Homo-oligomer: A and B are copies of this chain.
């Protein structure tokens, strides 16, 4: 008999939809002890909350997240609000004994993140951050290959997250859909929004970073603010690139921008090991590129693996369709929910936890500090 996990969702934006879709679908495709129940959704605008609840099947609505957090019929709070609200909500939810699923990035910065980690660890509540790309099957396969030792010593890691949606100076900052351009709401620009994804994957696949040197740029210096109607300085980084040294001795380059004409959401990474190399690309997320030096000499080449096989060959894919039929972006969230629920059942929590995500925060802090000081920065450790 399935056990219900009663979800209270805060925030009805893009991520609110992505998570709701995952909660609704997971039980159709995975056999799990726990099943999400869409108990309540919270938005400041009641009309928005009601419309969202109707669309997705939430049983009730709230307009004050404090009320939602206090409700006894909620087991898990899902935080999908702008970055500057994560800490307060998460801390309150932890105090209320709720499990927490928090959108990324965890926090505005490292110190704020530390407090959140302390809150959930003190409250001993299951906690997770939505770095969803770990659960794209091709990325999970990459993790498996690394854990199986197929790469050998790693020499290089490189990652990019390129977009082009903010090139127009007419685009305002702030408000619904555009809070990512408002430094007060977002904390940073591409660093916290896009590089955070690259960093989370990198830490997962390649271990901790030692130090970084970075540069950032804000190409358009001022934009109209949607909320005030006035032109205001832009406080976020439009672009950020950094060099890094990992503790395993490998060298890395990272870059993100929203000014790379022609790229919508091109998150790519590549890892070069002594024995093999791996590459992946969000624009064709169902494929993994793999080069194996142990292949016979004349037949060596990058393999384009269509990660859609069954029979346990490819992570998660047994749950979906038949070989050759690709899944998409949204499925990474379904997988993350499935793993979270599995973690509840087994007692082996699914990552990334708040503490895991704090490490990403520390890298972001070092990157932004390096860009400001124009000097190499050591990365703090988030390990206990």
Contacts and interface: CB of A to CB of B under 8 A. Distances in A.
Contacts of A56: 28
Given A14-B321, A28-B55, A298-B141, A155 B327 contact: no
Given A14-B322, A262-B291, A301-B306, 7 more contacts: A213-B215, A261-B274, A261-B275, A265-B324, A284-B284, A286-B326, A302-B303
Interface in A259-279: 259-266, 272-277
Interface of A: 14, 17-18, 20-21, 24-25, 27-28, 55-56, 141, 144-145, 155-156, 158, 160, 162-165, 167, 213-215, 217, 219, 239, 241-243, 245, 249, 251, 253, 255, 257, 259-266, 272-277, 282-288, 290-293, 295, 297-306, 308-309, 311, 313-314, 320-331, 374-376
Contacts of A298: 141, 144, 305, 309, 313-314
Contacts of A303: 295, 299-303
A167 B329 CA distance: 32
A233 B313 CA distance: 32
A302 B242 CA distance: 26
A62 B240 CA distance: 54
Contacts of A276: 261-262
7 contacts: A17-B28, A213-B213, A253-B253, A261-B272, A262-B277, A265-B323, A297-B313
Copies in the complex: 4
A382 B215 CA distance: 25
A259 B272 contact: yes
B253 A324 contact: no
Contact of A283 (B165, B277, B285, B326): B326
B301 A265 contact: no
A282 B324 contact: yes
B286 A328 contact: yes
Nearest to A150: B299
Contacts of A264: 306, 308-309, 322-325
A209 to B, nearest CB: 13
A51 B253 CA distance: 46
A160 to B, nearest CB: 8
A152 to B, nearest CB: 9
A274 B287 CA distance: 24
A259 B301 contact: no
Nearest to A325: B329
A165 B308 CA distance: 13
The listed residue with most B CB atoms (<10 A of its CB), out of A308, A314, A326, is A326
